[in-house]
Structure formats: C-alpha cells, structure tokens
Amino acid sequence: MKKIFLLPFFLFTLLNLKAQFPAASQTQRQIIVGTENTALVLSVGKNQKLYQVYLGEKLKDPADYLSLPNLHEAYIPSGTDNLFEPAIKILHNDGNPSLELLVADEKTTRDGNLITTSILLKDSKYPVEVRLNFVAFQKENIIKTWTEIRHQEKNPVLLTKYASSMIHLDAYKYWLTQFHGDWAKEMRMEESQLTSGIKTIDSKLGTRANMYQTPVFFLSKNIPSTETSGEVIAGTLGWTGSFQMSFELDNSNSLRMISGINPFASEYHLKPYETFTTPEFLFTFSNTGKGQASRNFHRWARNYGVMDGNGNRLSLLNNWEATFFDFDEPKLTELFGGAKNLGVDLFLLDDGWFGNKYPRSNDRAGLGDWQETQTKLPHGLGYLVEQAEAKGVKFGIWIEPEMVNPKSELYEKHPDWVLKLPNRDEHYYRNQLVLDLCNPEVQEFVYKLVDDMLTKNPKIAFIKWDCNRMMTNTYSPYLKDQQSHVQIEYVRSFYRVMDRLRTKYPKLPIMLCSGGGGRTDYGALKYFTEFWPSDNTDPYERVFIQWGYSYFFPSITSCNHITSWGKQSLKYKTDVAMMGKMGYDIRVNEMTPDELKFSQQAIQIHNRLRDLIWKGELYRLVSPYDEERAVLMYANEDKSKALIFSYALHPRTFNQFSPVKLLGLDANKKYKIEEINKMPGVNSWFAAEGKTFSGDYLLKIGLSLPNNSDLTSAVIEITEEK
C-alpha cells in the first residue's frame, strides 16, 4: 500500500530534480561501500563530481544500482552552487571562499572483515584535496567514515566547516530520535518528525561530548521505527568534545545529515601540507527496526570500538557514596573486608585521597596535587594495595588528571597551565578549572602522574578517570594567537596522552567518568574499557538511563552500581545493576544477614551469567516509555540460553501486565524457565516457574512475568532442554 502511495510522489521528485541536474551528472562509474546487508552507493558523474545515489538494504545485483539517478552530491562544498548547509567551508589565501570537489582517485582494499574505500577529491583551481574514507565492517553491518583535508597553498587556509560525514536520504517523512539530559538525568529519549529547515543536536562543552545532548541518533524513514520494524539509520560520532549533527530537510523533501566536530568557536587555520583529520562517524542501517541497529553497534563495539571489548571486567565495591571524602586507613581497610565478604573482585578508592598543603577533604581544594594526604593515608597507596591484597581483593583508584582547584599547589606553581581568559574573572564549575592540555608540558604532567603512580604501585588493577567540568571562559595560554583551535587541540591532546598510556599499559581496565555520563563516545572508548553512565543510581531512574545507553553501547561497557540512592528494595537495585557491569557503592556492614546473603549469591549469579549479558544479543521487549515497566532480554548466539530482566515501574494497584512475547529464541527448541536472584526465603509467584515450553510458544504467546506491582523486579533464566 505504502509503496504504491509513495511512487507518484517519488517519481515527481526525481523528474523535478533531474530537470535541475542535467547530463553533466550522468553516471560514469559507481563505488559501492557495502557490508553484508547494507550498501552505500556513490557514483562518479560525467562532470567528475561524486554523488550519493543510495543508502539502504543491499541489492543482490550491483548492476541494479545503475538505474538510480545522481541526485545528491556526496560531500557538498560551500561557495559555488550549493544553496543548503555544506559539509565543508574553506577560505583560500586569495580570499576566495569557494571549493569545487572533483574525483581524482579512488581505492578499495579488503582485509578480512573490513573493506576500506578511499576517495580522493580535488579542486581544479586550488591545490586543495579532500579524502573521504569509509571502512565497511562486513559482519557487523557498520560503516565508519571520516574525512581528511589537505592543501598546498602558500599560507594557512581557513576552515570553518569540516564535517566527518554527509549522508543523504529520500523518504516521505523522517523521524529523529535523540537523547538529551543533564547531570543525573542522562539519555532521555525523544522522537520527533523532522520538518523543513535544519534541526541541530550539538554540544559546545569542549572537554566532553555529552551533557545536554548525546552524540547519537536514530533516523527512521517514513514511519517511526520500532524495536523490530522500520527502516532506520543509527549514527554516532567518535569525538570526546563539542559535536554537531544537523538534519536538513530541503525544498524537495530530501534530507541531509551532517555530522562532525562542532565548528562553533573553532575556525581552523590549516597549514600547508598539514592534514586535518576529522573524527569518525559510525552508522548502521537496519530495515528491521532499532533492535537490530543496536545489536550491530554492540557487536561492532565489542570487536572494534571498545578497549578489550570481548574481555572480562572486574566487579567492584566503590567507597564514594559510602564515605564521600571522609575516610582514613582503618576505615578503608575495613571496607576491603566488606568487598571480600561480598565477593567482588576489586575495591575502588574514589575521590579524596590526595593533597597535603590543601588536603582534598571536600571538592573545594587539592585537585591537581596527586600525592597521598599524609594525615589520612600516612602509609601511602602502596600500603592500601597491600592491605587490599591481604584481604583478597584487588585495588583501584579514582583520578581526575585534567583538572585543578585554584586552591592547590599545582595552581600556585603553574597558573599558566590553566584554561582561562587573561582579562576576566575565573569561572568555576564544581570549584575547579580545566588544565590547558594543549600544552605539551601539561600532557607530560598528566601522563607522568598516571605513569608514576602505576610504576610505584604496579598492582593497581583499575582506574576511574573522571572529568568533572566543561570549558568556559576558554583561553589557552599555550596556543596564544590560535585560540580558535583550543577545543580541537584539547581533544587531540587527550587522545595523545591516552595513546601513550595505552602503549605502556595496554591491559589495565579504565572507567570513563565525566560527572556521570559526559564522556560516552566511541572516540574515548577506544582507550577505555567501560563508562559511568550517571551519578544518578536511583534504580527507577537507572532503568531509563541504562535503557537509553543500551541503544548504542554494549552492556559490558555500562558500570551499574548498587547504592543507597532510591527507596527501592535491594533486590530491585540488584536486578537493575545486573544488566551491565555490576558493582556496589554501599556500606556492606549495614546490610542485614539476608541482604548480605542475597548479594553474595547475586554476584555469583552474575559471574555465572555475565558472558550472556555482556556478549549476548540484546532484545528490548517492553519499553519504559510505552508501559509502566521495562523488559529486556539477552540471548546467546546459538539460542540455547537467555535471560529476562523485568522491572515494574509505577503501575496501578492490582495491575496485571500482559504476557510478553520473547525474541532471539529458536522455535524448534524446548526451554526450561526459572526465576533466579530471589531474596532468601522468598518463593516465586511465577506461574511458569520450572516449566518447559517450546521456543515457538515463547515467541508467539510469551510469558506472563511475575512482577506486576510497584517497583518489583524479576530475573528469569531460560535454558534449552535437550
């Protein structure tokens, strides 16, 4: 029905556009960037310009793409005949603001699962080159794309726009799903229909990508996609700084999606022969809804996007919410005992362990002075590592190396190491300032503080790397007359430091934290094993927050802690934390014997099933945005094992939710159903408890889950019966 309805409109659009782009844009040859299921088809016109002719499900016969017209120039430059938002904007040495990009060369190489395509575009009048790069991950159905810009003019050219990618779509309607928030309310999902004009999601934070807007989106064609239906593109930018993603609906109802670094306050003076390399834009296409798009990202992230993505992770006990800044050696060693008693792998010492002239007894002082506070920890970190080991747990530590309190020895010694406008008052956020990481001496300082700590204490087994503020009043004393490079240079410098650290410490697990989830992007996750999604650990809120992240990030990356936030039961908190990398931030000595027993068991259950959760296929069955509950399911690849997490939110009294049809199982197999992770002495009210069903039944009829009332939860294990 829909196709018939759309056809006349589509033909009209084509004819209309064909009239505007005559013979010059006829196809000379095509370049197919393809994965197992997806194709992005580019074509070289007779006029030597590069066009994008298709993005969608791969066709069986590539010759079929030849029937498609060259409607959209692929990477549109500014200054010539373009009337909408360009991908690139340049000012030449002679003051000419135009660029015309013609295909000069192209190359495709294959290396196992990866097909790399590189297309060189050149201007015919100016010695400027733009190289578009694509890596197509065959099995994961992910395409990674980025751009390199170079020139040989005499003096620097000015770049005022330098997108990583421009993608064109043609549909009847377009639906954008975006994720926004703030501190403690990350990843709120919102879907809207795009109207004519430009919709932009961006950030201008400098040190982090995310706070108010997250650099991820879904774009559904024609109708809003669901978990299991609809044509949808999922995209994200791998950049740990200010980003911009714009969606422009033009006069012909075509959509341009442009993603890259935010050019805001970042005009770039590109020197002759210097290459400006944009960050990577990653995207996937699914014609079976958002669920498949997510699973594509999860698989890609584990195989390529995240440090040690297929490895193991350490469960931990963190002391932040248990003690805040108020601790000393005896208190900590007692907590090590708690960690051991609980059965976690590691104790993580959070903020508050450093500073002597200005001890870090609150967040107003000491940041930057990375020496143990003598009064609190007279025997130093080495002693704590030993004590933890003696108690049978590993030891990890919190740092925030890119920041400084004005009340610190570091600030007194190096006032010129701070990003701040010379002629204005300092502007604080969480009482701190950002170090000028653009300065190589600051990079060395950050590298050395981590390296020295690890050299002195080689048994430190984990780092939590925090970054608690964004840039304001930004001015780099080091960059002098190149202030518009600060935002870009900062992120590059961060990666430079991480590159060095990862060369020396390739295996050490490091958690990314940024006052909650401010640094959740695939630019940083190359160097990090996991991230802290939010400081909000109230499990009701976490259901939504973790749900949001689950669209783009695999659960092995999401650190979910059980804390004293929220009035829900320990069972509810634990079930919520289990759908990721589980941890605790709680006073173990205040647990009742039943709570302790339950938690010890929960850790064992998580250890037994964590591979399924971290590396299995995720199916989001019921959305908390649709019903007063959330139900998620993980299934392994051979469909022999699955796990359901079911969280009731705030349903009405005497509520009875309807049965949930499962996904990811084999209709021809038989499965045993069991509720697990119950409080000691609590019986299951689950009608299906201990029963066996066919996969066909579970897929078509489903299960009535046992938790129908306010803030109750259930974990259901599903095992193939042979």
Q: Write the interaction track for ligand GLA spanning residues 422-461; mark x where CB under 6 A is met and - where it is not.
A: ----------------------------------------
Q: Which is nearer to ligand GLA, 89 or 313 (CB)?
A: 313
- The CA-CA-CA angle for residues 692, 617, 56, to 5°, reads 130
Question: Smaller CB distance to ligand GLA: residue 366 or 664?
Answer: 366
* Distance in angstroms (rounded) separating the CA atoms of residues 354 and 351: 8
Per CB under 6 A, 518 contacts ligand GLA? no
Cβ proximity to ligand GLA, 518 vs 548, nearer residue = 518
Backbone angles phi, psi at 447, to 5 degrees: -60, -45
Q: Which is nearer to ligand GLA, 212 or 475 (CB)?
A: 212
Q: Per-residue x/- marks for ligand GLA, 44-63, CB under 6 A? A: --------------------
Where do we find the tokens 């790399």? 116
- In one-letter notation, the amino acid at residue 622 is V
Distance CA 35, CA 601 (A): 43
**Nearer to ligand GLA by C-beta: 146 or 353?**
353
Alpha-carbon span 681 to 685, nearest angstrom: 13
Residue with tokens 């029937």: 67
Contacting range for ligand GLA; rule: CB under 6 A; set: 186-194, 223-231, 249-257, 509-517: 509-517
Which residue bears the tokens 């201007």?
123
Q: How far is the CB of 401 from ligand GLA (least distance, A)?
A: 13
Candidate segments 27-35, 309-317, 510-518, 710-718, binder of ligand GLA by CB under 6 A: 510-518
Place of tokens 């709120």: 188
Interface residue with ligand GLA, options 52, 242, 323, 468 (CB under 6 A): 468
Site of tokens 């791969």: 58
How far apart CA 397 and CA 509 sit, in angstroms, is: 11
**In terms of CB distance, is 141 or 468 closer to ligand GLA?**
468
123 lies in the binding site for ligand GLA (CB under 6 A) = no
351 touches ligand GLA by CB under 6 A: yes
Cα–Cα distance between 617 and 637 in angstroms, integer?
A: 7
Whole-angstrom distance, CA of residue 602 vs CA of residue 345 = 14
By CB under 6 A, name the one of 401, 515, 580, 702 that touches ligand GLA: 515
Does residue 535 bind ligand GLA (CB under 6 A)? yes
Residue 186 vs 720, nearer CB to ligand GLA = 186
277 versus 431: smaller Cβ distance to ligand GLA: 431
Is 516 a binder of ligand GLA (CB under 6 A)?
Answer: yes
Nearer CB in complex with ligand GLA: 144/313 = 313
* 646 touches 703 (CB < 8 A): no
What is the secondary structure of 585-625 as a DSSP string?
Answer: ES-GGGS-HHHHHHHHHHHHHHHHHHHHHHHSEEEEEE-TT
CB of 389 to ligand GLA, least distance (A): 23
Residues 551-610 that bind ligand GLA (CB under 6 A): none
Angle formed by the axes of helices 380-391 and 440-456, nearest 10°: 50
Kindly state whether residue 541 participates in binding ligand GLA, applying the rule CB under 6 A.
no
Which span (36-44, 159-167, 448-456, 511-519) binds ligand GLA, by CB under 6 A?
A: 511-519
Nearer to ligand GLA, 87 or 511 (CB): 511
Residue type at 621 in one-letter notation = L
Q: State residue 263 phi and psi, 5-degree precision.
A: -70, -5
| Binding piece for ligand GLA, criterion CB under 6 A, among 136-144, 380-388, 415-423, 512-520 | 512-520
User: Alpha helices, DSSP H only, in 415-567?
Assistant: 440-456, 486-504, 539-550
Contact criterion met (CB below 8 Å) for 329 and 336: no
Does position 350 interact with ligand GLA (CB under 6 A)? The reply is: yes
Q: Which is nearer to ligand GLA, 434 or 596 (CB)?
A: 434
* Near ligand GLA by CB under 6 A: residue from 157, 159, 497, 513: 513
- Which residues, other chains included, contact 88 with Cβ-Cβ below 8 Å and sequence gap of 6+? 75, 76, 77, 78, 99, 101, 130, 147, 149, 159, 161, 162, 163
Q: Rule CB under 6 A: is residue 372 a binding residue for ligand GLA?
A: no
d(CA 586, CA 330): 17
* Residue keyed to tokens 């751009």: 147
466 near ligand GLA, rule: CB under 6 A = yes
- Residue 462 interacts with ligand GLA (CB under 6 A)? no
Is residue 271 within 8 A of residue 315, CB to CB? The reply is no
A 10 A CB-CB count for 39 gives: 20
The Cα 360–Cα 646 span in angstroms is 41
**Contact flags string 262-301 toward ligand GLA, x per CB under 6 A:** ----------------------------------------
Considering only CA atoms, which of 593, 595, 531 is closest in space to residue 562? 595
366 near ligand GLA (CB under 6 A): no
Sign of CA dihedral 446, 450, 451, 453: positive
The single residue among 146, 320, 411, 490 that binds ligand GLA, judged by CB under 6 A, is 320
Q: Shortest gap between Cβ of 360 and ligand GLA (angstroms)?
A: 9
Residue number of the CB closest to ligand GLA reads 351
The residues binding ligand GLA (CB under 6 A) are: 320, 350-351, 363, 398, 466, 468, 513, 515-516, 532, 535
